[in-house]
Chain A
Amino acid sequence: MKAFEFFEHTADIGVHAYGRTLEELFINAARALYEVQGRFDLADRRILKAELAANSLDELLVRWLSELVYRLSADGVCFKHFRLQFTGEQKLVAQMEGGAVDFGHSEVSEEVKAITYHQLSVKQTADGWMATVIFDV
Chain B
Amino acid sequence: MHPLTKISDVLWELPQTYKTGMRVPGRIYASEPMLSRIVGDNCLEQVANVACLPGIQSYSLAMPDIHWGYGFPIGGVAATAPDEGGVISPGGVGYDINCGVRLMRTNLTQEEVAPKIHDLVSQLFRDIPCGLGEKSDLRLGRDEERKVLSQGARWAVTHGFGSPEDVDFIEESGCMAEAESSNITERALERGAGQVGSLGSGNHFLEVQVTDEIYDETAASTMGLFLGGITVMIHCGSRGFGYQVCDDYLRVLGRAPEKYGFHLPDRQLASAPIKSPEGQEYLAAMRCAANYAFANRQVLGSKAERAFLHALRISPDALGMQLVYDVPHNIAKFEEHVVNGLTRRLCVHRKGATRSFPPHHPLVPPRYRAIGQPVLVPGDMGRYSFVLVGRQQAMSQTFGTVCHGAGRLMSRSQAKRELSFDQLRRDMEQRGVVMMARGRGTAVEEASAAYKDVAEVVNVVDSAGLAKKVCRLRPLGVVKG
Contact = CB atoms under 8 A, between A and B. Distances in A.
Interface of A: 6-13, 37-38, 55, 59, 66, 70, 72-74, 76, 101, 103, 106, 108-111, 113-120, 134, 136-137
Nearest to B67: A10
Given A110-B445, A111-B202, A114-B95, A11 B68 contact: yes
Contact of A134 (B70, B132, B270, B408): B70
Interface string B185-197: 0010011010000
B47 to A, nearest CB: 14
B201 interface: yes
Nearest to A78: B133
Interface in B424-481: 438-442, 445, 481
A118 B268 contact: yes
Given A8-B413, A11-B67, A66-B247, A109 B95 contact: no
A8 B411 contact: yes
B190 A74 contact: yes
Contacts of A37: 132
A110 B414 contact: no
Given A10-B41, A117-B267, A118-B266, A108 B131 contact: yes
A38 B247 CA distance: 23
A113 B412 contact: no
B200 interface: yes
Nearest to A75: B190
B55 interface: no
Given A13-B413, A38-B439, A109-B441, A117 B268 contact: yes
Contacts of A11: 67-69, 74, 408, 411-412
B411 A10 contact: yes
B96 interface: yes
Interface in B170-193: 187, 190-191, 193
B187 A118 contact: no
Contact of B191 (A8, A70, A110, A116): A70
B411 A136 contact: no
B424 to A, nearest CB: 15
A118 B202 contact: no
B445 A113 contact: no
A1 B307 CA distance: 52
Contacts of A10: 41, 67-68, 408, 411
B64 interface: no
Given A11-B67, A11-B408, A116 B243 contact: no
Nearest to A9: B411
A59 B67 CA distance: 25
A40 to B, nearest CB: 9
B103 interface: no
B103 to A, nearest CB: 23
A108 B71 contact: no
B246 interface: yes
Interface of B: 41, 67-71, 74, 95-96, 131-134, 187, 190-191, 193, 200-202, 240, 243-244, 246-247, 250, 254-255, 266-268, 270, 408, 411-414, 438-442, 445, 481
Given A13-B412, A116-B268, A117-B267, A110 B133 contact: no
A106 B438 CA distance: 11
Given A117-B270, A136-B95, 20 more contacts: A8-B411, A9-B68, A9-B412, A10-B68, A11-B408, A12-B70, A12-B412, A70-B187, A70-B244, A103-B132, A108-B438, A109-B132, A109-B439, A109-B442, A111-B131, A113-B96, A113-B240, A117-B70, A136-B243, A137-B201
Contact of A117 (B200, B250, B481): B250
Contacts of A120: 267
A76 to B, nearest CB: 6
Contacts of B131: 108, 111
Given A13-B413, A120-B267, A136-B95, A111 B201 contact: yes
B275 to A, nearest CB: 24
Contact of A111 (B190, B200, B440): B200
A108 to B, nearest CB: 5
B268 A113 contact: no
Residue among B190, B408, B440, B441 having the largest count of chain A Cβ atoms under 10 Å: B441
Nearest to A100: B133
Contacts of B412: 9, 11-13, 110, 137
A114 B267 CA distance: 15
Q: Top 4 nearest A-B pairs by Cβ distance? A: A118-B70, A103-B133, A111-B132, A109-B441
Contacts of B441: 109-110
A20 to B, nearest CB: 26
A105 to B, nearest CB: 11
Contacts of A116: 70, 95, 268
B439 to A, nearest CB: 5
Contacts of A6: 413
10 contacts: A8-B413, A10-B68, A11-B69, A73-B244, A109-B440, A110-B442, A111-B202, A111-B481, A113-B240, A117-B70
B13 to A, nearest CB: 23
B191 A73 contact: yes
Nearest to A111: B132
Contacts of B413: 6-8, 13
Contacts of B68: 9-11
A136 B246 CA distance: 12
